[in-house]
Amino acid sequence: MLPRAVHLTDVGPRDGLQNEGVPVSTEAKVAFVRALVAAGVREVEVSSFVRPDRVPQLADAAEVFAALGPAPAGVVYAALVPNERGLDRALAAGVGKVSVFTAATETFNRRNVNASVAESLARFAPVVARARAAGLPVRGYVSTAFGCPYEGPTPSAQAVDVSRRLLDLGCDEVDLGDTIGVATPPDVAAVLEPLLAHVPVGRVVLHFHDTRGTALVNVLEGMRFGVASFDASAGGLGGCPYAPGASGNLATEDLVYLLDGLGIETGVRLEALRDAARPLEGLLGRALPGKVFRAGPAPGPHCGGPVTPSRPPR
């Protein structure tokens, strides 16, 4: 049984851009977010309130939120927050959702946020409490949930343990990240089976990078377990500056194409999504890797593509 509808979070403006060396203007980021919303995306991870010198591309987080203004009804503008200093900035900017982030492996977490996993969880206690007191939903990311660039395959018990701790702190949902795109369906099952023995499936989100081409099949495996909330990034933008080898997130178009084909509702229009990602190619000066972004929707009425075949029949 697959879910009838799936909630998509486009993390392109944050996860997608954070690793890009070419500066993207605040105006272009705002236009990107607005175009995603116009395509039907209901949750956008807009930016990060991390140390600006660590992720210079997102140093204008406050300016992006100020230029966006309040999110339209039914839309959530989320941001990554590493500590209380970040939360102060995020609250002042008017974010609609706070995402704290730690990892299932110590070495990655130390490189990423300069803290052990236990230290980062301790940091989050006041962040989560204050965000909730401000009426904001909170997401807790578990990076390297399936594999780590420094420690290799992640024992599933570690991912489950950190997930449960985040939920115990008061996070509304936990988001398991395949930061370097190494998972295959048995790895997804190995984490979900024990996790779902303790946690309602509605509080679980999956975040796949498509480094080795397994992201979509991992989504399918997640849906088999009842997961109905996934992250993706328009055009397949993405990567983590502290995860060597991490490439793009699963492209949102590829995910929507699959879900459309399965008859699973997303509320997202494929062509409008491609339009949202297209300007990024010019701004970044490179081709975006998303497969459906490159190929377009299938010809014919399927997914709203052209009705006439591209080649005349013989």
- Binding stretches for ligand HMG (CB under 6 A): 15, 18, 48-51, 54-55, 80, 82-83, 85-86, 89, 101, 112-114, 141, 143, 177, 179, 207, 240-242
3-state SS assignment for residue 5: strand
Among residues 10, 14, 15, 57, the one that binds Mg ion under rule CB under 5 A: 15
Q: Are strands 173-178 and 152-153 parallel, antiparallel or unpaired?
A: unpaired
N-to-C CA span, the chain = 41
Assess whether 240 carries a catalytic annotation: yes
Which helix (H) or strand (E) element contains residue 130?
A: helix 117-133
* Closer residue to Mg ion, CB minimum distance, 10 or 15: 15
* Closer residue to ligand HMG, CB minimum distance, 228 or 250: 250
The distance of closest approach from Cβ of residue 310 to Mg ion in the complex, given in angstroms and rounded to an integer, is 35
Counting residues that bind Mg ion (by CB under 5 A) gives 1
Q: Which of 289, 188, 178 is nearest to 240 (CA)?
A: 178
CB 217 within 8 A of CB 184: yes
Residue nearest ligand HMG by beta-carbon distance: 177
**Residue whose pair of structure tokens reads 């299938």 in the numeric block:** 298
* Closer residue to ligand HMG, CB minimum distance, 34 or 54: 54
172 belongs to the binding site for Mg ion (CB under 5 A):
no
Indicate the DSSP class of residue 250: P
CB 137 within 8 A of CB 97: yes
The distance of closest approach from Cβ of residue 20 to Mg ion in the complex, given in angstroms and rounded to an integer, is 14
The distance of closest approach from Cβ of residue 245 to Mg ion in the complex, given in angstroms and rounded to an integer, is 13
Point out which residues bind Mg ion (CB under 5 A): 15
**Residues identified as active-site:** 240
